């Protein structure tokens, strides 16, 4: 069959268009953004910033995307997101403030209002309905503040503030470390340790138990009420806390004892130890996260430069060690991982901020067994001393946000 020149031109054009469509269909697209808090200078106390990375949807690889912005202070240490992923809150420790950023669809951040605190912020959490921002702060005294949110706008005065004091020893030095709100929004939990009872580099002046979890019920007005039996013992130096998406379990890392402590959430938020815990971690566990399915737990071990992985026994909440394709359930990161986050879209990727490595490590999560493999070209360089990260997906998915503790 012979074609006229016009027919040949039409055929070539059609084939070209088809090839272009196929290439577009096969092209790796970005579905997520990872926000990383770090410093612009060569010290941890330099001016803070937020670096914005795009996530490759196929490989999990990161690349710098939108312009880096100032964190609005010095030494950013924690971040949290609203449930619609349109607002980011960043806590700056040295500046004693929390800054609200609006998130554009392309990942760009625009600074909005700033909340000034009386003491150093440590951790942040947003309730699932995005009505309240919880701020854990303090140096020698620990406080949990509740701040109202209106379409993301942050109130400048607290709805409610609770002081977290050592049980029966109100003059002890109490240091706050971690914060989580359960997915129903009904309870919020904060970890602290009593420095008067645990102070390896100084004098111990108290006989109190050193580690605690404080539990609070939250009503619709943001009022905090102690859960029955609160506070609950939490090892020696609790460093991070996370809850599962089914509102049944809470997990706390104990930095001093190298353990993961598990609790069941009982009636009205009461915590009870898992009967076969605590569970072994690596050295100096610093961060913990539960995947969006509620099947796996991952823990950063700051001294060992790695991640521990566990499978949750769904009936009891007990974590059991995941056996990797080799002989270990431990996954190497860059130097001193201090925080981690799990991709909230489909729970496919895990990322850690590596404080002394000046980087982010990436892993691909196998949903069938919880094992991890490193993502392409990991670790990804950041600026100095990255501390916290948060992940924003496109679409409506469950929320994961993690703060450095």
Question: What's the confidence (pLDDT) of residue 31?
Answer: 58
In the predicted model, what is the mean pLDDT of residues 354-361?
98
Cα torsion 218, 219, 222, 226 to 10°: value is -40
Q: In this prediction, what percent of the chain has a pLDDT beyond 70?
A: 87
Q: What is the pLDDT of residue 324?
A: 58
CB atoms near residue 204 (< 10 Å): 14
Q: What is the pLDDT of residues 108-162, one digit of tens each?
A: 999 999 999 999 999 999 999 999 999 999 999 999 999 999 999 999 999 999 9
Q: 28 pLDDT exceeds 90?
A: no
The better pLDDT of the pair 26, 322 is held by 322
At residue 344, the pLDDT reads: 87
pLDDT at 167 over 90: no
CATH number attached to the domain at 28-402: 2.130.10.10
Going by the DSSP 8-state scheme, the letter that residue 232 receives in this structure is E
Query: Which is nearest to 284 in space by CA: 302, 267, 268?
Result: 302
Number of Cβ within 10 Å of residue 43's Cβ equals 9
Higher pLDDT among residues 323 and 281, named by residue: 281
pLDDT of residue 296: 96
Return d(Cα 82, Cα 102) in angstroms, integer: 10
Which of 191-200, 286-295, 321-330 is predicted least confidently? 321-330
Give residue 18's pLDDT band: very low, low, confident or very high (50, 70, 90): very low
Phi and psi angles of residue 162, each rounded to the nearest 5 degrees, phi first = -120, 135
In the chain, where are the structural domains located?
28-402
pLDDT band at 397; cut points 50, 70, 90: very low
Which pLDDT band holds residue 209 (cuts at 50, 70, 90)? very high
The count of C-alpha atoms lying within 13 angstroms of the C-alpha of 382, restricted to the half-sphere facing its C-beta, is 36
Please name every residue paired with 81 in a beta bridge, in sequence order, or none if there are none: 88
Do residues 339 and 300 make contact, with C-beta atoms less than 8 angstroms apart? yes
Exposure string over 130-157, b if 16+ CB within 10 A, otherwise e: bbbbbbbbbeebbbbbbbbbeebebbee
C-alpha 242/C-alpha 182 separation (Å) is 8
pTM exceeds 0.75: yes
State the pLDDT confidence band at 385, using cuts at 50, 70 and 90: very high
Residue 186, pLDDT score: 97
For residue 1, pLDDT over 50 is answered with: no
With a CB cutoff of 8 Å and minimum separation 6, the contacts of 379 are 333, 334, 354, 357, 359, 360, 361, 362
């Amino acid at each position: 069959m012979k074609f006229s020149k016009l027919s040949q031109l039409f055929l070539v054009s059609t084939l070209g268009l088809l090839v272009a469509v196929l290439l577009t269909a096969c092209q790796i697209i970005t579905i997520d953004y990872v926000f990383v808090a770090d410093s612009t200078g060569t010290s941890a106390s330099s001016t803070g910033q937020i670096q914005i990375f795009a996530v490759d949807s196929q490989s999990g690889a990161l690349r710098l995307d939108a312009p880096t912005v100032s964190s609005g202070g010095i030494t950013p240490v924690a971040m949290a997101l609203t449930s619609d992923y349109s607002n980011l809150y960043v806590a700056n420790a040295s500046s004693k403030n929390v800054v609200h950023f609006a998130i554009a669809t392309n990942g760009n951040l625009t600074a909005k209002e700033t909340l000034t605190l009386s003491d150093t912020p440590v951790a942040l959490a947003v309730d699932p309905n995005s009505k309240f921002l919880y701020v854990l702060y303090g140096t020698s005294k620990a406080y949990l503040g509740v701040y109202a949110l209106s379409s993301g706008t942050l109130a400048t005065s607290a709805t409610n503030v609770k002081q977290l004091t050592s049980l029966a020893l109100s003059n002890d030095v109490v240091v706050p470390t971690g914060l989580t709100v359960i997915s129903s929004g009904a309870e919020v939990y904060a970890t602290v340790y009593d420095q008067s009872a645990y102070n390896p580099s100084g004098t111990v002046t108290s006989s109190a138990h050193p580690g605690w979890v404080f539990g609070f019920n939250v009503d619709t007005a943001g009022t905090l009420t102690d859960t029955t039996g609160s506070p609950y013992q939490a090892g020696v130096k609790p460093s991070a806390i996370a809850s599962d998406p089914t509102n049944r379990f809470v997990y706390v890392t104990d930095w001093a004892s190298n353990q993961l402590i598990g609790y069941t959430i009982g009636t009205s938020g009461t915590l009870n130890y898992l009967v076969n815990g605590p569970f072994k971690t690596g050295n100096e566990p610093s961060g913990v996260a539960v995947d969006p399915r509620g099947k796996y737990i991952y823990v950063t071990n700051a001294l060992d430069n790695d991640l521990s992985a566990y499978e949750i026994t769904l009936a009891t909440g007990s974590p059991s060690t995941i056996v990797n394709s080799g002989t270990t359930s431990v996954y190497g990161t860059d130097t001193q991982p201090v925080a981690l986050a799990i991709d909230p879209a489909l729970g496919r990727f895990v990322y850690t901020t590596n404080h002394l490595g000046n980087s982010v490590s990436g892993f691909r999560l196998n949903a069938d067994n919880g094992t991890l493999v490193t993502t392409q070209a990991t670790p990804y360089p950041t600026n100095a001393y990255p501390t916290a990260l948060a992940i924003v997906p496109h679409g409506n998915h469950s929320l994961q946000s993690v703060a450095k503790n």
